[in-house]
Amino acid sequence: MNFLLKLFLIVLSITALGSYSIQHGFLDVTDVTNRLFPLSKRYLQHGVFPKQSIGPFPSKNRSSCSCNGFTILAPNVQVGELQKRRSEEYQKYQRRMGTKMDSLILAQANSPLQYPIQGFEVPPLTKRVIPGLALHAQRRRLYKVSLRVKSGVLSVEDVLDGQQVDGQGQSELSISSSSLTQLNDLLSRVTYTSTVYHVKTKDLVHFYFEHYEAIFPIVIKRPSVPVLYDPGTDINSQVTITTKTFLRYEELNILINSIRQLYPKIKIIVADDSLTPENVTGDNIEHYIMPPAQGWFAGRNLAVSQVTTKYFLWVDDDYIFNNNTRIESFVEIMEKVAELDVVGGAVGKNRFYFRLHYEEGDEEEGGCLRRFHRKTHQSVPGFKDCFFVDGVVNYFLARTDAVRRVGFDPFLKRVAHTEFFLDGLGDLLIASCNGLSVGHQKKRKQGKYSQFRSPGRNDGKKKLAHHYFKNYLKCIKY
């Protein structure tokens, strides 16, 4: 019987006994093959199969991304010095966000080592018993295991005289015994103590037995305090309407009047950076005056910072509520799909939405970003008219705390919309839904407003250079 045939028979044996073994909580390849095929035993012993590295490996195989047809973001002036500063800030970002610890770890096939795969957390500078450590091995004269960590120390609690434990209170711990039962009893009392203060980081435990090695993570994290919003009993206690205005008081007053026809008591927050501010009055209206021409995103930040409700509805100052504008429908979706952060509707017949494709690229050049108009990810479960996307129109209901975590970049003053969703990529769960609409007012004479509305050529260049540094991009395509 040649080697390949024996391997084939081993696979058959695993298949035959797999369901029985899994139902009983184990699947030991060595035990199954030894009982069914004694000759195959030597193929699973030391030295027959070469030991494969199990990591940790970098979790992302990062190679340069293609910029064909994209806008190159790198500025032409002082690019060397700028690249150096950008690279340094990116390294700090990775340390701060913990991306350097997100390593790829492989599990050895048929390992006799038992250990926690995930879910084990330790507060910083605190001791915890590592759950689930055990050894499952055939009979030996002596059983010996060892563990090694980097950002903490290891110990075994309540060690008795004569029990072989070396390295108590150190980063490397060794345990040996002639009894497998005693060894596992000692393993059940192994503790990890974090010795490096950090609010959120990780350590890797290397767990050894003979030629076997297992690696598993320990999350070092301070517990977070929940931040909850009392939704109250009606739409007025659930939602605040927010808007930003600039030199368009006639449009703003039309918007407010249309809101009051449908929602007489709901709070409205107005951020205003007009050159010469005018009074905006009315019940339950908060009017915040900003320095002149600070820009759209600065105004959004100000408005959202004053929201005290669970959700806010964003509207532009030239929208108008109509009979199809029902905020309750937004809330119903958000409440039933608790993971959602933003739900967008339509402005008139314009249901603008898009999907973003981001490639991280290599660490020297940065990534590539592309926007695909009217492309979705998939439908939202339970809502056939809602689809997961990466960005929506300027008419959306949002979870207040989620949007505050992302924020609106005040560097972007004139035209900025996709940029908020770019910053929230991977953090915000967003959907676009049919049947949720608001009206758009007829355009009026723009006057001074038009001078500020459209960015100049220099503004466009500054915006692209901003993406280059801030978002670590080398190219972008809208």
Of the ranges 53-67, 125-139, 188-202, which one carries the lowest mean pLDDT score?
A: 53-67
- pLDDT of 450 > 80? The answer is no
Paired tokens of 338: 């608790």
- pLDDT of 8 > 90? The answer is no
**346: closest CA among 280, 380, 395?**
395
Give me the residue spans of the domains in the chain: 3-9+17-44, 107-221, 235-477
Predicted confidence (pLDDT) per residue in 69-99, tens digit: 999 998 765 568 888 899 999 988 888 776 5
Q: Where are the alpha helices (DSSP H) in 175-271?
A: 180-187, 235-238, 249-262
Summary mean pLDDT of the chain: 87
pLDDT bucket at 10, cuts 50 / 70 / 90: very low
For residues 194-211, average pLDDT: 94
What local confidence, expressed as pLDDT, does residue 18 receive? 42
pLDDT: is 32 or 381 the higher one? 381
- pLDDT of 448 > 80? The answer is no
Predicted confidence (pLDDT) per residue in 435-446, tens digit: 999 999 998 776
Predicted confidence (pLDDT) per residue in 378-392, tens digit: 999 999 999 999 999
What local confidence, expressed as pLDDT, does residue 48 receive? 42
- pLDDT of 44 > 60? The answer is no
Residue 373 β-bridge partners: 354
> Where are any strands of DSSP class E within 279-352?
285-289, 311-314, 319-320, 342-347
For residues 123-131, average pLDDT: 97
Helix (H) or strand (E) holding 232: none
What local confidence, expressed as pLDDT, does residue 76 receive? 66
**473: closest CA among 65, 76, 59, 81?**
65
Paired tokens of 144: 């010996």
Q: What are phi and psi of 146, to 5 degrees?
A: -145, 155
- pLDDT of 118 > 70? The answer is yes
Paired tokens of 264: 């007489």
Paired tokens of 204: 């890797």
Q: Collect contacts of 252-260 with beta carbons under 8 A, ≥24 apart.
A: 252/280, 252/317, 253/280, 254/320, 254/441, 255/315, 255/317, 255/318, 255/319, 255/320, 255/321, 255/441, 256/280, 256/282, 256/285, 258/320, 258/321, 258/322, 258/439, 259/321
pLDDT bucket at 36, cuts 50 / 70 / 90: very low
Paired tokens of 131: 């759950």
What local confidence, expressed as pLDDT, does residue 17 receive? 39
- pLDDT of 312 > 60? The answer is yes
| Residues in contact with 152: Cβ distance below 8 Å, sequence separation at least 6, in sequence order | 122, 171, 192, 193, 194, 195, 196, 203, 218, 220
Q: Which fold has domain 107-221?
A: Immunoglobulin-like (2.60.40)
What local confidence, expressed as pLDDT, does residue 60 receive? 64
SS3 358: strand
Q: Which residue has the tokens 């008591």?
A: 265
Which CATH number applies to 235-477: 3.20.20.140, 3.90.550.10, 3.30.470.20, 3.40.50.720? 3.90.550.10
What local confidence, expressed as pLDDT, does residue 447 receive? 67
Helix (H) or strand (E) holding 240: strand 239-245
pLDDT: is 94 or 356 the higher one? 356
Predicted confidence (pLDDT) per residue in 147-187, tens digit: 999 999 999 999 998 899 999 999 999 999 999 999 999 99
